Amino acid sequence: MSEAELVERAADGDAAAFGVLVKDHQSRLRGFLRRLTRGDTALADDVAQDAFLEAWQNIGQFRREGAFAGWLARIAYRRYLKAARRRKLEPLDDVEMATIDAAPDTKLDLEKAMAHLSLPQRASLTMCFALGYSHDEAAAILEMPVGTLKSHIARGRERVRQLLEYER
């Protein structure tokens, strides 16, 4: 059964069809959220669960103009922003490179470097490089202009490059 048929059936109240959609998208969505939460798997899983619940409750509002995965990612991103505000999570935008806590002879890996980016940079890089969304799709999901997304990508890539070079 195609994704469009699954969405249609889920919109008609078919929980099993929605279960297939969850199964198809949960890994990718949780990976996205783990990057946003800087590896906090419990928070990422909580946000993912909330996003799937909201998607189930509102699947009739999905306009089918874009991909279901994009619609779901937008819900998850909004849910993450709400959770971050509620938990008063501290941004790491201004972290000094010297404070990165890695063993002296251990290379800083990409995930650790990503954790030191601002939320918009992490989200933009993850959407475009890890999840394969186009700039237009990622900008729509993250609800920002394409130019802003491209700026976040450029700054994020440069920051990751600096962090990785510093660790060498």
Structure tokens at 89: 């999570």
Instruction: Mark whether 2 and 85 lie in a shared domain.
Output: yes
> What whole-number distance in Å separates Cα of residue 147 and Cα of residue 154?
11
> What whole-number distance in Å separates Cα of residue 35 and Cα of residue 29?
10
More confident residue, 168 or 22: 22
Q: What is the tally of structural domains in the chain?
A: 2
More confident residue, 47 or 168: 47
Residue 167: its pLDDT value, please?
63
Instruction: Mark whether 23 and 56 lie in a shared domain.
Output: yes
Is the predicted pLDDT of residue 168 greater than 50, yes or no? Answer: yes
More confident residue, 85 or 125: 125
Residue 104: its pLDDT value, please?
37
Of 47, 65, 89, the residue at which a domain comes to its end is: 89
Instruction: Mark whether 68 and 97 lie in a shared domain.
Output: no
Backbone angles phi, psi at 16, to 5 degrees: -65, -40
pLDDT tens-digit map of 126-165: 999 888 899 999 999 999 999 999 999 999 999 988 888 8
Helix (H) or strand (E) holding 162: helix 146-167
User: What is 62-87 written as a DSSP string?
Assistant: --SSS-HHHHHHHHHHHHHHHHHHHH
Instruction: Mark whether 68 and 124 lie in a shared domain.
Output: no
Of 46, 73, 89, the residue at which a domain comes to its end is: 89
Q: What percent of the chain has pLDDT over 70?
A: 87
Instruction: Mark whether 163 and 105 lie in a shared domain.
Output: yes
Neighbours of 45 (CB within 10 A): 15
Is the predicted pLDDT of residue 93 greater than 50, yes or no? Answer: no
Neighbours of 78 (CB within 10 A): 17
Domain that holds residue 38: 1-89
> What whole-number distance in Å separates Cα of residue 66 and Cα of residue 63?
8
Neighbours of 3 (CB within 10 A): 15
Of 34, 66, 89, the residue at which a domain comes to its end is: 89
Instruction: Mark whether 110 and 74 lie in a shared domain.
Output: no
Sequence letter at residue 17: A
Instruction: Mark whether 160 and 100 lie in a shared domain.
Output: yes
Instruction: Mark whether 73 and 142 lie in a shared domain.
Output: no
CATH number of the domain that 66 lies in?
A: 1.10.1740.10
Q: What is the mean pLDDT of residues 48-68?
A: 92
pLDDT band at 98 (very low <50, low <70, confident <90, very high): very low
CATH number of the domain that 111 lies in?
A: 1.10.10.10
Q: What is the mean pLDDT of residues 33-42?
A: 90
pLDDT band at 107 (very low <50, low <70, confident <90, very high): very low
Neighbours of 103 (CB within 10 A): 8
